[in-house]
Structure 1
């Protein structure tokens, strides 16, 4: 494309928005409107409406009153495409084996634009089990999957995930003890908690980690105790199966992610 053609097809507003996103992606701690305009060599007034739209659409957040920083929305959008499809393809046979051996259902959950989202589900092989539809949004603060997704991220990423959820949820219920619990989950390597939604169910959740040890997904068994003597392992045995499966998926997904890096 010639310089003349390039100029003809310019979209100034889009260029301005992309300039802001690319600038914020390269700094820690965010920038003020004045700092953004200075680094991009334009008047602060040129960026007011653009920043307002980026905040309203969830790509940028305001921190400390007058500073702007990127959210994880772009990360979430990217996750929904090829990386997540590949992750599901790796996970499906492992999740199927886990369901057969544990006699329990299980699901794979990722963080996407403020929510924990179910991207894969395996039914229990018997009559009884807890099923959650693929595509369902589940709680970030009151589920095992949500706790694991938060626990195995850096404090900065965790803060951004919570802020993104708060923008979409008018009254997020965050208990004062949550941060202490997240640290405990990270230390022991899993979450085990009574379901906040269904009586008699326990959330068993383990992280699927990338090569950098950041959580890319949560693998969760909604455990129910079966009366049938052939109903499968107890909750402790099921947890060991879950941890083994999550470790296998982490190694598989991590190896492929490393191979795909330039």
Structure 2
């Protein structure tokens, strides 16, 4: 398409909004309205309404009173993109094998607009097991999946995820002890916690890592002790099986991302 044809279909308001998003994505710490205007060589008045709309739609947030910064809404939308759908697709046989070996159900979750969202699920092979429906939105604060998704992101991304979750769920962000727990999870490599929703269940969760080492998904086994299956793996053995599967999925995720960017 030549320049004349391109100009014919211009959408100035859309261009202005995209200019703002692309600029904010390239800086740390946000920018004031005046700084945005200066960098884009426009009048500050041109951006007031656009910034207001981007804030109201959740793509941009105000920090420190007068600075604008990107939220993780675009990141959340990206989770619906093809690579994530492929992740759920090629995770299926590995999750099925994990269920068979551990005798437990398992599910895969990603971050999407303030919540952990289940994108794949595998039932336990026998008639006892805890499962969560695909499409379920679960808390970042009191679930193994949520803890993993927060623990394996950068400090800045973690803050934005927590802020977005607090807004969407009307919850107050946790104190220093919660952040310390996330750091411990990252150092340990997995989460093990008593379920806040179901008595007798332990959430065992591990990260699916992208090529850059950041968490892109959480694999969780809602572990229950099976008294009628004495040969079933215990909780320590189940953690080992979970970590092995998560490592395999991380390898596949890295290969998949690399192949889509070649």
Q: What band does the TM-score fall into relative to the shorter chain?
A: over 0.9
The yes-or-no answer on 1:94 pairing with 2:94 is yes
C-alpha contact (below 8 Å) 2:162/2:173 kept by paired residues: no
**Structure 2 SS opposite 1:177:** helix
Spell out the pairing of 1:195-234 with structure 2 (5 A cutoff).
Answer: 195-230=195-230, 232-234=232-234
Work out the CA distance in 1 between the residues paired with 2:150 and 2:215.
Answer: 8
Work out the CA distance in 1 between the residues paired with 2:124 and 2:101.
Answer: 10
Work out the CA distance in 2 between the residues paired with 1:112 and 1:14.
Answer: 24
Which stretch shows the higher mean deviation, 170-179 or 44-53?
170-179
C-alpha contact (below 8 Å) 1:90/1:253 kept by paired residues: no
Work out the CA distance in 2 between the residues paired with 1:63 and 1:150.
Answer: 20
TM-score (norm 2): 0.96
Structure 1 portions without partners, runs of 5+ = none
Q: What residue number does 2:186 align with?
A: 186
**Structure 2 SS opposite 1:133:** coil
C-alpha contact (below 8 Å) 1:105/1:221 kept by paired residues: yes
Work out the CA distance in 2 between the residues paired with 1:147 and 1:247.
Answer: 18
Displacement after TM superposition at 1:173 (Å): 5.3
**Structure 2 SS opposite 1:163:** helix
**Structure 2 SS opposite 1:47:** helix
After superposition, what is the alpha-carbon deviation per residue over 1:178-233, rounded to whole angstroms, capped at 9, x for unaligned?
Answer: 10000000111000000011111100000011111100100000011111134611
Spell out the pairing of 1:1-262 with structure 2 (5 A cutoff).
Answer: 1-172=1-172, 174-230=174-230, 232-262=232-262
C-alpha contact (below 8 Å) 1:103/1:231 kept by paired residues: no
**Structure 1 SS opposite 2:20:** helix
Question: What is the root-mean-square deviation of aligned Cα atoms in Å?
Answer: 1.4
**Structure 2 SS opposite 1:244:** helix
Displacement after TM superposition at 1:75 (Å): 1.8
Work out the CA distance in 2 between the residues paired with 1:186 and 1:12.
Answer: 44
C-alpha contact (below 8 Å) 2:105/2:123 kept by paired residues: yes
**Structure 1 SS opposite 2:197:** coil
Work out the CA distance in 2 between the residues paired with 1:111 and 1:135.
Answer: 12
- Number of residue pairs matched by the alignment: 262
**Structure 2 SS opposite 1:250:** helix
**Structure 1 SS opposite 2:37:** helix
Structure 2 portions without partners, runs of 5+ = none
Which stretch shows the higher mean deviation, 96-105 or 250-259?
250-259
TM-score (norm 1): 0.96
**Structure 2 SS opposite 1:140:** coil
| Runs of 4+ that moved beyond 4 A | none
Work out the CA distance in 2 between the residues paired with 1:195 and 1:144.
Answer: 8
Work out the CA distance in 1 between the residues paired with 2:2 and 2:256.
Answer: 39
